Amino acid sequence: MIDLLAARSQMAISLGFHIIFACIGMAMPFFMSMAHWRWLKTRDKLYLNLTKVWMRGVAIFFAMGAVSGTVLAFELGLLFPGFMEKAGPVIGLPFAWEGTAFFLEAIALGFYLYGWNKINQWVHWAAGLAMGVFGIASAFFVICANGWMNSPTGFDIVGDKWTNIDPIAAMFNPAALQQGIHMSIAAFAATGFGVAGIHAFLLFRERQDRLHAAAIRIALIFGTTAALLQPISGDLSAKMVADTQPEKFAAMESHFKTEKGAGLLIGGIPLEDERRVILGLRIPGMLSFLAHGDFDSEVTGLDAFPEEDWPPVIVVHVAFQVMVGIGFLLAGLSLLYLFIRWKKQQLLDHPWFLLLLIVCTPIGFIAVEAGWVVTEVGRQPWVVYKILRVADTVTPMPGLWIPLLLFTGMYVALTAVGAWLMARQIKSVRGLAPESEKDGL
Secondary structure (3-state) at 256 = coil
Does the pLDDT at position 337 exceed 50? Answer: yes
164: left (phi over 0), alpha (psi -120 to 50) or beta: left
Q: Which of 102-111, 244-253, 389-398 has the lowest mean pLDDT?
A: 389-398
- Cβ neighbourhood burial of 364 (10 Å; 0-12, 13-18, 19+): buried
- How confident is the prediction for the chain on average, in pLDDT? 89
Q: Which of 97-101, 180-184, 342-346, 395-399 has the lowest mean pLDDT?
A: 342-346
Q: How confident is the model at residue 193 (pLDDT cuts 50, 70, 90)?
A: very high
**Contact assessment for residue 172 and residue 144, using Cβ atoms and an 8 Å cutoff:** yes
Does the pLDDT at position 433 exceed 80? Answer: no
Q: Directed axis angle between helix 176-205 and helix 2-42, to 10°?
A: 60
Say which residues have a Cβ less than 8 Å from residue 217's Cβ, sequence separation at least 6: 348
Q: How confident is the model at residue 68 (pLDDT cuts 50, 70, 90)?
A: confident
Percent of the chain with pLDDT over 70: 95
Q: How confident is the model at residue 108 (pLDDT cuts 50, 70, 90)?
A: very high
Q: Which of 29-38, 122-131, 185-194, 413-422 has the lowest mean pLDDT?
A: 413-422
285: left (phi over 0), alpha (psi -120 to 50) or beta: left
Q: Which of 143-157, 203-217, 288-302 has the lowest mean pLDDT?
A: 203-217
Model confidence pLDDT, tens digit, residues 6-64? 988 888 988 888 899 899 999 999 999 999 999 999 999 999 999 999 999 899 888 88
Number of alpha carbons in the 13 Å side-chain half-sphere of residue 64: 31
CA 296 to centroid of chain Cα atoms: 34
The mean per-residue pLDDT over the stretch 211-228 comes to 94
**Contact assessment for residue 216 and residue 199, using Cβ atoms and an 8 Å cutoff:** yes
What beta strand segments (E) does 32-179 contain?
156-158, 161-163
Q: How confident is the model at residue 432 (pLDDT cuts 50, 70, 90)?
A: low
Model confidence pLDDT, tens digit, residues 296-331? 999 999 999 999 999 999 999 999 999 999 999 999
Model confidence pLDDT, tens digit, residues 239-255? 999 999 999 999 999 99
Beta bridge partners of 267: 280
The mean per-residue pLDDT over the stretch 164-189 comes to 93
- Residues 361, 194: Cα–Cα separation, whole Å: 4
Q: What is the pLDDT of residue 437?
A: 42
3-state helix, strand and coil shares in percent for the chain, rounded to the nearest 5: 75, 5, 20
E strand or H helix at 282: strand 276-283
Does the pLDDT at position 431 exceed 80? Answer: no
Q: What is the pLDDT of residue 187?
A: 95
